[in-house]
């Protein structure tokens, strides 16, 4: 089991962390960090990531403004998490099977250009596109909507190739 306290232990120190922030200060910041005011969350909210939405949107906006490589890949990634969380997933066969599922658009260098956090039925996908093409194809279309046409080679695995028979 991973523990952030190991960053400050002599045998396992991560010096960029240990030399710049005191252990107690780090845990105080970690415990009290909020991106939005909890009292401003609407009662009828369906966004499971509303507490981090401004930060997530800012990161995605910055990634969408980067110059994009020619060869791109769409894939899913698990953000490891074993605690109690409504959107936690279990994906058999993954190196970290428990966590938050994210779909990523990445270049061949490993640079990430777009992220889509999966939150079940309330994932921010166009519902008409999802009904017509399925989850996998709608994820690809969502992640690549900001790209110029006929400028990139796009690679993805069979999860994103599902065909809907109407």
Range of the domain at 126: 53-161
Q: Say if residue 74 is in the same domain as residue 122.
A: yes
Cα dihedral sign for 71, 103, 3, 47?
Answer: positive
- Bigger pLDDT: 122 or 93? 93
Q: Say if residue 57 is in the same domain as residue 138.
A: yes
The yes-or-no verdict on residue 162 having pLDDT over 70 is: no
Q: Say if residue 61 is in the same domain as residue 129.
A: yes
CA distances from 72 to 28, 110, 163 (A): 39, 9, 22
Q: Say if residue 104 is in the same domain as residue 146.
A: yes
Q: Say if residue 145 is in the same domain as residue 112.
A: yes
Q: Say if residue 22 is in the same domain as residue 78.
A: no
pLDDT band for 11, please (50, 70, 90 cuts): confident
Nearest residue to 56 (alpha-carbon basis) of 110, 10, 117: 117
pLDDT, residue 128, reads 85
pTM higher than 0.75: yes
Tell me the three state secondary structure of residue 116.
strand
- Bigger pLDDT: 57 or 86? 57
Nearest residue to 4 (alpha-carbon basis) of 20, 24, 19: 24
């Amino acid at each position: 089991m991973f523990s952030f306290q190991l960053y400050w232990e002599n045998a396992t120190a991560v010096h960029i962390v240990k030399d710049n922030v005191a252990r107690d200060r780090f845990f105080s910041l970690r415990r009290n960090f909020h991106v939005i005011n909890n009292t401003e969350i609407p009662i009828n909210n369906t966004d499971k990531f509303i507490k981090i939405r401004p930060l997530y949107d800012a990161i995605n906006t910055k990634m969408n403004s980067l110059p994009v490589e020619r060869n791109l890949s769409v894939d899913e990634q698990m953000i490891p998490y074993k605690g109690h969380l409504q959107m936690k997933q279990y994906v058999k066969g993954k190196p970290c099977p428990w966590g938050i599922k994210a779909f990523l658009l990445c270049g061949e260098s490993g640079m990430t250009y777009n992220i889509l956090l999966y939150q079940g039925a309330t994932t921010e996908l166009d519902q008409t596109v999802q009904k017509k093409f399925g989850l996998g194809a709608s994820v690809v279309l969502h992640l690549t909507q900001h790209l110029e046409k006929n400028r990139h080679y796009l690679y993805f695995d069979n999860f994103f190739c599902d065909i809907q028979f109407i």
